[in-house]
Amino acid sequence: MKPFTKLLLCLIVCPLFMMCSSDNNNTPVTTARLNPMLADPTIFEHNGTYYLYGTKNNPNVVGEGFLVYTSTNLKDWTGPAGAHDGFAFKKGDGYGTTGFWAPQIFQYNNKFYMAYTANEQIAIAESNSPLGPFTNAGNAIPSGGKQIDPYVFFDNGKIYLYHVRLTEGNRIFVAEMESDLSAIKTATLTECIHATKPWENTQNVSWAVTEGPTVFKKDNQYYMLYSANDFRNPDYAVGYATSATPYGPWNKENNSPFLSKQVLGYPGTGHGDLFYDAAGTMQYVFHAHFSNVQVDPRKTAIVPLSMQGSNITVPSNAQITWPLIVE
């Protein structure tokens, strides 16, 4: 084991050993100790290897940016393995000085790209490897306001940027992007979703939150998975909506939220990303509160999803996978 890795594990394990005794949500103690603790996580698969990224949530890990861990089985993870001191993108590699949140990784034109939030703006960095270093010239995508939580979606030769705008709450928007990913086509900017359902605002706050969109297409129908409520709320949860077009209108499905404290038994479950494992099973990676009485550091988790027709659910026999750092 490398000295850096030994030090990192010590920094993670030792402080958490004392905290785990107060974890009341029945998570195995070893899981809490060695979990990567990435909030707003995403998993990208390439050539049989899974790459896990997210919002760094462990204060004992020094540095700012986006760590990356690797795995071949979704249970045992190595890292941090990023090219820049364990980071796939580290502060100074491109745009942003603070608030590095919610990355998404995708491949385009033989390059790897990271869409991410920093300084409550959205930027895109590129790399020759999923491990980074991801870099850009230090520019954000022009916005005219605050915007976070990017999700880049390719469909029928067009590129769409789903994202959250901070305007009378956290609201999900979409716009078509320029082919070089440098900007959106402002004439196409369209609001998709804001909080209107009781489950989306259980504390009845004035600044309601919908965020963390993931979009996919199946049988000519578009699906948007999204989270609602403030992430500190135990009722933070994931629902979905469907549409016949990338722009909407979006119909919020009645079985939302399909992923929640009531479904999984853990508080604060949400803001993740969809991916498919080697067997072709639909999986959702997300974060949950550290315990029933403590929000941070949030823990990373994975759960399989099922689709029957247009209904998305967590199977009743589903087992949650809590990623473990093994070296």
Domains of the chain with bracketed CATH? 3-325 (2.115.10.20)
Output 141 or 5, whichever has higher pLDDT.
141
Asked if the peptide bond before residue 257 counts as cis, ω within 30 degrees of 0, the response is yes
Residue 16 has pLDDT above 60, yes or no: no
- To the nearest whole number, what is the mean pLDDT of the chain? 92
Contact 294, 22 (CB under 8 A): yes
Average pLDDT over residues 123-146: 97
48: exposed, middle or buried (Cβ count in 10 Å: 0-12, 13-18, 19+)? exposed
- Which of the 8 DSSP states describes residue 140? P
* pLDDT single digits (tens) 187-203: 999 999 999 999 999 99
What is the b/e burial string over 272-286, where b = at least 16 CB atoms within 10 angstroms of the residue's CB?
bbbbeeeeeeebbbb
Contact 160, 152 (CB under 8 A): yes
CA dihedral 52, 57, 60, 64 (to 10 degrees): 80
Residue-level pLDDT at 303: 98
Residue-level pLDDT at 155: 98
Q: How confident is the model at residue 212 (pLDDT cuts 50, 70, 90)?
A: very high
The distance from CA 88 to its chain's CA centroid, rounded to whole angstroms, is 15
SS3 253: coil
Nearest to 283 by CA among 293, 272, 291, 294: 272
Output 51 or 19, whichever has higher pLDDT.
51
Q: How confident is the model at residue 304 (pLDDT cuts 50, 70, 90)?
A: very high
